[in-house]
Structure 1
Amino acid sequence: MKISCKIIEDLLPLYIDDVCSEESRRIVDEHLSECSKCSEILKQMKKENLPMENIELNLTEADPIRNLSKEWNKKLKKSMLKGVISTLLLVCAVLLIVHIFVGIKIVWK
């Protein structure tokens, strides 16, 4: 069965990642044994795959950004808390001033 190189080229990424079916793998193997062009494309694709060291390096490159995000979140929480406390103090001060100068008393029942 003759399968076009275009179809094999579409299957090569799956073949490299070992996620294609056994039938597809067998067909690709047969085609690669006969077609030097597709074999060359396969070699090139394998070279272009990222080595595991680069993947691990990319994962660790995100650590400073994560740390910065945590720091910003801490500062945001502190700012919110300061705002709430300031607002409560301001409300208490206004009520105290109103009580002292105006003489309005708040009665709790």
Structure 2
Amino acid sequence: MSKFECELVADLLPRYIDKKCTQETTEFIEDHIKSCEDCRELFEVMNTEIIGATEDKPAKRRRLSGGIKVLLVVLGYLGIVIVALMIFSYSLMNGVL
């Protein structure tokens, strides 16, 4: 195989693996891979890497226990009450009310 064909196939392999090539390009790559050991090995490595990357599991999300959720809700309401009291006391001290 010519060096140019191997370089061309190497450039096109990602699109071929993603199935985004035209029919003619797909046939050219498949014919070349059948006859060129180096490009076939490159294809196998690239295909394995792409398949392995898509099979990774998403990161686990930690869930809060019921007690912690209740505590956070209570703290949120407490914060709202404190802010409301601060506004009310500021209004009283400055004669707004």
Unpaired segments ≥5 residues, structure 2: none
Q: Any idea what SS the aligned residue of 1:47 has?
A: helix
Q: Any idea what SS the aligned residue of 2:24 has?
A: helix
Q: Any idea what SS the aligned residue of 1:19 has?
A: coil
Question: 1: CA distance between counterparts of 2:48 and 2:90?
Answer: 68
Change (3 A) 1:32 1:84: same
Change (3 A) 1:6 1:80: farther
Question: How far apart are 1:93 and its partner, in Å?
Answer: 3.0
How many percent of aligned residue pairs carry the same amino acid?
Answer: 23
Question: 2: CA distance between counterparts of 1:26 and 1:45?
Answer: 18
Q: Does 1:88 align with 2:87?
A: yes
Q: Any idea what SS the aligned residue of 1:20 has?
A: coil
Per the normalisation by structure 2, the TM-score is 0.63
Unpaired segments ≥5 residues, structure 1: 99-105
Q: Does 1:48 align with 2:38?
A: no
Aligned residues: 85
Q: What RMSD in Å do the two structures reach over aligned CA positions?
A: 3.3
Aligned to 2:28: 27
Which has the higher Rg, Structure 1 or Structure 2? 1
Question: How far apart are 1:36 and its partner, in Å?
Answer: 1.0
Question: How far apart are 1:86 and its partner, in Å?
Answer: 3.2
Per-residue CA distance 1:24-78 (angstroms, 9 max, x = gap): 1111112112211101111111222216542xx22xx1533xx68xx8xx78xx3
Question: How far apart are 1:83 and its partner, in Å?
Answer: 5.8
Structure 1 or 2: more helix by fraction: 1
